[in-house]
Copies of this chain bind each other. A is one copy, B any other.
Amino acid sequence: MRPSGRAADSLRAVSFSTGFARHAEGSVLIRMGQTEVLCTASVEGRVPPFLRNQGLGWVTAEYGMLPRATHKRGEREAARGKQSGRTQEIQRLIGRSLRAVVDRKAMGEMTITLDCDVLNADGGTRCAAITGAYVALSLAFRHLVAKRVIAAVPLIGQVAAVSCGLVNGEALLDLDYAEDSAAEADGNFVLTADGGIVEIQATAEQKPFTETDCLTLMTLAKAGTRELFVAQNIAIEAAGSIV
């Protein structure tokens, strides 16, 4: 029995509050259980130096956690003067994951920055950030289409992410903090709606795991993201009809 009472293959309750950040071209507050991440997409009409004059756009991400998103207050990275290795690792993952579904040529020379800020943390923040960032990015692209900056939404796939892990020998979908802390192994699976894998990061936390374990977790993740893809689409359509 999971602490939350969920079945092994159950996601937490997922919801999307689009338009949470009033000034952003696209934004959503994603909630997965008690994890809440505010994702905003900001458009800027130029690309970083290494991409200039190549006719390609750029999609990048930054990640942060409010100091008291966690049980114990964490040091504010801005006050400490640098981002932790964990933060940098996560924001690099988010950026790669979103770029995997964007046609950067069709997008043209612009930069979209996805800021993913965790307001409340209860495990799975990086996966929630990716799932939310896809929604924010989609909304920003729709906004640009509506403003006739681009002709069509330059997305070539739909991406979402979920964590799975082995806890007391059982494979569980969408770990919350209590489960994550106790996991023998866990993985973050970034998948596309057409069944592709964008990224797998699976780690033995307590002891090495097997290929079979890995496949079991993958199966859970596929089922979990199928639900997320539906929820993302509903959120995007609902937002679209309002704006």
Interface 1/0s, chain A 65-96, versus B by CB < 8 A? 01111111100111111111111110110001
Q: Is the CB of A66 within 8 A of B117?
A: yes
Q: Is the CB of B209 within 8 A of A197?
A: yes
Interchain CB contact (< 8 A) of A115 among B66, B157, B196, B197: B66
Q: Chain B residues near A71 (CB, 8 Å)?
A: 23
| Identical subunits present | 6
Interface 1/0s, chain A 196-223, versus B by CB < 8 A? 1111111110011111011100100000
Q: Chain B residues near A200 (CB, 8 Å)?
A: 187, 200-202, 214
Please, how many angstroms separate the alpha-carbon atoms of A115 and B240 in the complex? Answer: 34
Residue among A78, A91, A100 facing the most chain B CB atoms (10 A cut-off) = A78
Contacting B at CB under 8 A, from A112-130, are 113, 115, 117, 119-122
Q: Is the CB of B70 within 8 A of A23?
A: yes
